Amino acid sequence: MKFSIQQTEGRARRGQLILTHGVVETPIFMPVGTQATVKGLTPQMVRDVGAQIILSNTYHLALRPGDEIIAEQGGLHRFMGWDRPILTDSGGYQVFSLADIRNINDQGVRFRSHIDGTILDLTPERAVKIQENLGSDIAMVLDECPPADASDQTRREAVRRSILWAERCRQAHTRNDQVQFAITQGGLDVGLRKECAAALVAMDFPGYALGGFSVGESPEAMHAVLPECADTLPPEKPRYLMGVGRPEDLLVGIASGIDMFDCVMPTRNGRNATAFTNSGMLHLRNAIHKRDSQPLESSCPCYCCANFSRAYLHHLFRSKEMLGPILLSLHNISYYLRLMEGARKALEQGRFAQFHQERLARWQSNT
């Protein structure tokens, strides 16, 4: 991996990340392909709207079809027909959010599969092995992600255990064509974040992530601490804000010095008839769109906007046709990626602050 910063404006950074399967221009949004697919879209559709890197998940793929099967099939890139970079989450968040029964200690996590109830063990070493079988470009260390309302003692214990697990992940890592990113925890406690980051930075990982956000805290509370949290991470290495979020959250993240983002919101909202636009969110099931001949967004070059009206999309959702979720998911991913492209261009031109304020003003004027 090679990472370089090309322009800065305040804390915001314009960079480039070179990985085994290609070049990623930052800041960047990563569409989520949890189970080796970006829901409802072919890899070619995802490529066509400009996705440079996608995210898949260790937990889900280890359960089904199994990481060894994917390795037998030539790795995740070949298995899912995606030839660009992939980042894999360690599965820690899914264990804590999906597993009905779990027992956690310093050794790892024992949990019951949400699919068939099978008892499984996930240790730092196992999380590394799964991701090495998958063959992703970036592998995340196993961490403990407490909820936003966790007690101070619970947060501190999660930080201690995440540091312990990160070192074990680093020791277990063997693939030279895959890099590991560490994950800081600590909730909204900036002091605890600093303690966690200091321990992880001393281990000299190639990249670092801020985990434990968007887990129940308000957006305003997250925005307030993001700049200081980003400052705890090495400026010469890529910074990744996990699982966040809304378009306005991404711009706040960029202004705070974050380089990489992922979230299920574009596709989840697309499946539920909601489109992101520069003028705000559109709810395509609403009757106001029944006779509307406009595209979702006239300035959007995606296949959906270039070919179909809001009236047609309204019809698809009212008729429960599967094409509706497909088209809206495609548009929403295109929207997020174009937002990142706009931010990169603004940084290159030294006008990111203006770009940020203009976008916020447009969104707020239509809410």
Q: What do you get for the CA distance between the two ends of the chain, in Å?
A: 41
Q: Are 141 and 90 in contact (CB under 8 A)?
A: yes
CA distance 349 to 9: 10
Element (H, E) at 304: helix 303-307
Tell me, yes or no, if 262 is annotated catalytic: yes
Q: Are 3 and 15 in contact (CB under 8 A)?
A: yes
Tokens of 249: 């959250």
The torsion angles phi and psi of 258, rounded to 5 degrees, stand at: -90, 145
Sequence-separated (6 or more) residues with CB below 8 Å from residue 80? 33, 36, 37, 43, 56
For the chain, the residue count is 367
Tokens of 224: 């307030």
Sequence-separated (6 or more) residues with CB below 8 Å from residue 307? none
DSSP notation for 140-170: EPP-----TT--HHHHHHHHHHHHHHHHHHH
- Please state whether beta strands 260-262 and 2-9 pair in parallel, antiparallel, or not at all (unpaired): unpaired
Kindly compute the dihedral angle of the four CA atoms of residues 338, 343, 345, 346, in this order, to the nearest 10 degrees: 140
Tokens of 228: 């200081």
Q: Please tell me what DSSP assigns to residue 27.
A: S
What CA–CA distances, in Å, run from 362 to 278, 308, 356, 359, 366?
7, 24, 10, 5, 7
CA angle, corner 94, sides to 210 and 154, nearest 5?
60
Tokens of 26: 């930052």
Sequence-separated (6 or more) residues with CB below 8 Å from residue 69? none
Tell me, yes or no, if 249 is annotated catalytic: no
CA distance 134 to 137: 9
> One of 89, 143, 249, 259 is an active-site residue; which one?
89
What does the longest C-alpha to C-alpha distance in the chain come to?
A: 61
Q: Among all residues, which ones are annotated catalytic?
A: 89, 262
